[in-house]
């Protein structure tokens, strides 16, 4: 099916893109890699009359270190994340997840900004960003504002971004402690989206094996990625050995937010296995 007709702009600065958004209001849509937007337009679930392509805005691209923060531009592709030495060094979980997204075409076109803004409940990077305690920077008519990952994903396909804002960059705190992070995914065999995916990030104490900080987030479970708080509580302050991790993994229950489908019990079981794998890998990386 063909999309409905639309006008198309290729701004070269963020300000120009924001002006176009303000001018066309609800009828405008930002285009990044197009791997989620174009299928929606072809099915006519989305019918923007003006498409604002972000690909010619250099300031939205790239990966850099800013002191103890890793800064990733919104238009950075999944393939660039997977291949980046800076990402592998500072937050290997991002490379883990990005390298498992879809297929090579999707990874070479799809972007971190598009993935987070789209907020698909089975996407990989939202859970990763949540586990890392990242901050999302939105650019809008009044300037820039920072949104904590915990507050960014509001509902199914809904984020805290306002209609007149764009996602400019993602800022990830890089721990100086003995830290490790990992992503474990059971992919839906046809789409490669996460049937269940678990992101884990933790710090070990400087001279020992006790867990000083831990965040675990699950995707594929509910309308938004969820923190696995009970798992985190079962691990915090304890020695991260295989037995403790196995016991903590069993604390995952999906809670009241788990989508009540016929596969819920199976999903919980599968997610517990993914929690176990992600936590063990994150611990090994922290040592
Ligand atoms: C076959 C296939 C398999 C896939 N498999 C996976 C998978 O395994 N795991 C996974 O996580 N994802 C998967 N995806 C989705 C893929 O990761 C997409 O790239 C991603 O969801 C959207 O990114 P995009 O850059 O293509 O965004 P687009 O499709 O261009 O945009 C998506 C939405 O985000 C908005 N948007 C884009 N950029 C910005 C911005 N900077 N600021 C504000 N709003 C913005 C757009 O207006 C649009 O509403 C798959 C997609 C396909 C087609």
pLDDT in tens, the chain (287 residues): 788 899 999 999 999 999 999 999 989 999 999 999 999 999 998 999 999 999 999 999 999 999 999 999 999 999 999 999 999 999 999 999 999 999 999 999 999 999 999 999 999 999 999 999 999 999 999 999 999 999 999 999 999 999 999 999 999 999 877 999 999 999 998 889 999 999 999 999 988 889 999 999 999 988 999 999 999 999 999 999 999 999 999 999 866 566 666 778 888 899 999 999 999 999 999 98
CA of 274 relative to ligand 1 center, distance in Å: 24
Gap between the Cα atoms of 153 and 136, Å rounded: 11
Cα 128 from chain centre: 5
182 strand-pairing partners: 200
For strands 50-53 and 28-31, give the pairing. Answer: parallel
- The DSSP symbol for 269 reads H
Structure confidence at residue 13 (pLDDT): 98
Pocket of ligand 1 (CB under 6 A): 29-37, 54, 74, 101-102, 106, 109-111, 113-115, 117-118, 120, 123-125, 161, 166-167, 191-193
Which ligand 1 atom is the nearest neighbour of the CA of 193?
8
* CA dist 110 → 4, 28, 32, 36, 264 (Å): 22, 20, 7, 8, 29
Which residue's CA lies nearest to atom 38 of ligand 1? 114
Q: How far is CA 82 from the centre of its chain?
A: 13
CB 44 within 8 A of CB 22: no
Pocket test for ligand 1, best of 114, 154, 185 (most atoms within 8 A of CB): 114
List helix spans (H) across the chain: 14-24, 37-42, 78-83, 85-90, 92-98, 104-109, 112-118, 125-131, 149-152, 229-235, 242-249, 264-286
CA of 109 to the centre of ligand 1 (A): 9
What pLDDT is stored for residue 253 in this prediction?
82
Q: Which atom of ligand 1 is nearest to the CA of 110?
A: 19
Which residue, among 42, 72, 25, 27, has the nearest Cα to 174 in the 3D structure? Answer: 72
The pLDDT value recorded for residue 221 is 83
Q: What are phi and psi of 172, to 5 degrees?
A: -115, 120
Report d(CA 125, CA 224) in Å as an integer. Answer: 12
C-alpha R_g of the chain: 19
Which residues neighbour 212 within 8 Å (Cβ) at sequence distance 6 or greater?
Answer: 177, 202, 203, 204, 205, 236, 237
What pLDDT is stored for residue 207 in this prediction?
85
For ligand 1, atom 20: residue with the closest CA:
115
- Joined tokens for residue 75: 């238009």
Give whole-number Cα distances, 118 to 166, 197, 228, in Å: 12, 17, 22
Q: Which two tokens stand for residue 177?
A: 């402690």
Residue 215 C-alpha to ligand 1 middle, in angstroms?
Answer: 25
- Say which residues have a Cβ less than 8 Å from residue 261's Cβ, sequence separation at least 6: none
What's the pLDDT score for residue 278?
98
By most ligand atoms within 8 Å of CB, the mutation choice from 16, 27, 32 for ligand 1 is: 32
From the CA of 200, how far away is ligand 1's center (Å)?
Answer: 22
> For residue 75, which atom of ligand 1 is closest to its CA?
41
Where do the H-state alpha helices sit in 120-216?
125-131, 149-152
**Between 264-286 and 242-249, two packed helices, what is the crossing angle to 10 degrees?**
150
- Ligand 1, atom 5: nearest CA belongs to which residue? 102
- Give residue 233 CA to ligand 1 midpoint distance, Å: 33
């Amino acid at each position: 099916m063909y999309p409905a007709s639309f006008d198309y702009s290729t701004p070269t600065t963020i300000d120009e893109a924001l002006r176009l958004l303000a001018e066309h209001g609800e009828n405008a849509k930002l285009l990044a890699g197009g791997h989620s937007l174009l299928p929606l337009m072809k099915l006519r679930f989305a019918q923007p009359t003006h498409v604002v392509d972000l690909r010619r805005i250099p300031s939205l691209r790239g990966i850099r270190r800013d002191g103890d923060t890793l800064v990733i531009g919104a238009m950075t592709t999944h393939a660039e994340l997977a291949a980046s030495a800076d990402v592998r060094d500072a937050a290997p979980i991002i490379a883990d997840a990005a390298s498992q997204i879809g297929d090579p075409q999707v990874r070479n076109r799809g972007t971190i900004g598009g993935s987070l803004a789209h907020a698909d409940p089975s996407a990989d990077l939202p859970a990763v960003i949540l586990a890392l305690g990242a901050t999302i920077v939105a650019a809008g008519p009044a300037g820039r504002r920072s949104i904590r990952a915990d507050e960014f994903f509001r509902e199914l396909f809904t984020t805290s971004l306002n209609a007149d804002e764009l996602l400019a960059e993602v800022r990830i705190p890089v721990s100086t402690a003995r830290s490790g992070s990992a992503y474990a995914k059971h992919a839906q065999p046809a789409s490669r989206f996460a049937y269940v995916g678990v992101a884990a990030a933790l710090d070990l104490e400087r001279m020992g094996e006790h867990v000083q900080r831990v965040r675990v987030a699950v995707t594929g479970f509910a309308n938004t990625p969820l923190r696995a708080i009970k798992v985190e509580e079962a691990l915090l302050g304890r020695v991260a050995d295989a037995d403790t991790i196995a016991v903590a993994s069993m604390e995952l229950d999906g809670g009241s937010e788990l989508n009540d489908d016929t596969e819920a019990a199976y999903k919980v079981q599968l997610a517990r296995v993914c929690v176990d794998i992600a936590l063990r890998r994150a611990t090994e990386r922290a040592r």
